[in-house]
Structure 1
Amino acid sequence: MDYVNAFWVGGLICALVQILMEKTKMLPGRIMVLLVCLGTLLGAIQIYEPFVEFAGAGASVPLLGFGNVLWKGVKEAVDQYGFLGIFMGGFQASAVGISAALVFGYLASLIFQPKMKK
């Protein structure tokens, strides 16, 4: 059942974002920032964590989940280091995910040899 919940929740998030892209004139970059900020806000008001427990990867993989990870990292770092944790927490919490994206993106570019658009 965990897979089913992850599938339909992740699909619903993607469908809502697709509708947002089609029905508004917002650029994709702004929508991505909106999703990260929304995930951060939902994490701050403690709504996102129960959502992740229910949906698993369907809620933690999209950009909403990235915003939630940033929030949790900043919150833990502020508790541990005080004011300086505001600047450290997001980097510490998201370092592994960002590093993995860079490494796997580079490996994919070596395998598939991407070309620039003309």
Structure 2
Amino acid sequence: MEYVWAFLVGGALCAIGQALIDYTKLTPARILVSFVVAGVILSGVGLYPKLIELAGGGASVPLTGFGHLLAEGVRKAVDEHGFLGVFLGGLTSAAGGITAAMLFGLLAAVCFRSKDK
């Protein structure tokens, strides 16, 4: 049943993003930022951890999950380091994902050549 919930929640998040692309004049960049901010807000009010518990990867993999990860990192760092944790927490908690994205981007750039359209 957890696969069904992951599919439904992840699919719903993707459908919302597709609807925003199709029916609004928002740019993809603004939609992506909105998803991250929505994850931070939902995490701040305590709803996103419950959604992750229900849907697992369907909630933690999309961009809203990245926002949740940033918010949780900041919350933990503030508990440990005080005000300095506001600046350290998000980067510390997301360092693995950011590093993987940069590494795979570099690997793709080395392996493939860009072509003019």
Query: Do the structures match in fold with TM over 0.5?
Result: yes
Question: How far 1:56 moved relative to its partner?
Answer: 0.4
Match for residue 101 of structure 2? 101
Q: How high is the TM-score relative to the length of structure 2?
A: 0.94
Rounded Cα–Cα distance in structure 1 between residues aligned with 2:116 and 2:8: 34
Question: How far 1:20 moved relative to its partner?
Answer: 0.9
Q: Which moved more, 1:48-57 or 1:97-106?
A: 97-106
Match for residue 115 of structure 1? 114
Give yes or no for the alignment of 1:33 onto 2:27: no
Gaps of 5+ in 2: none
Q: Which moved more, 1:98-107 or 1:61-70?
A: 98-107
Identity of aligned residues (%): 49
Match for residue 49 of structure 2? 49
Map 1:73-84; keep pairs closer than 5 Å: 73-84=73-84
Give the secondary structure class of the aligned counterpart of 2:4: helix
Match for residue 87 of structure 1? 87
- In structure 2, the CA distance between the partners of 1:116 and 1:86, relative to structure 1 (3 Å rule), is farther
Gaps of 5+ in 1: none
Rounded Cα–Cα distance in structure 1 between residues aligned with 2:54 and 2:6: 8
Match for residue 66 of structure 1? 66
How many residues in Structure 1 have an aligned counterpart in Structure 2? 117
Which amino acid is the alignment partner of residue 61 of structure 1? V
Question: How far 1:117 moved relative to its partner?
Answer: 3.9
Match for residue 9 of structure 2? 9
Give the secondary structure class of the aligned counterpart of 2:43: helix
Question: How far 1:116 moved relative to its partner?
Answer: 4.3
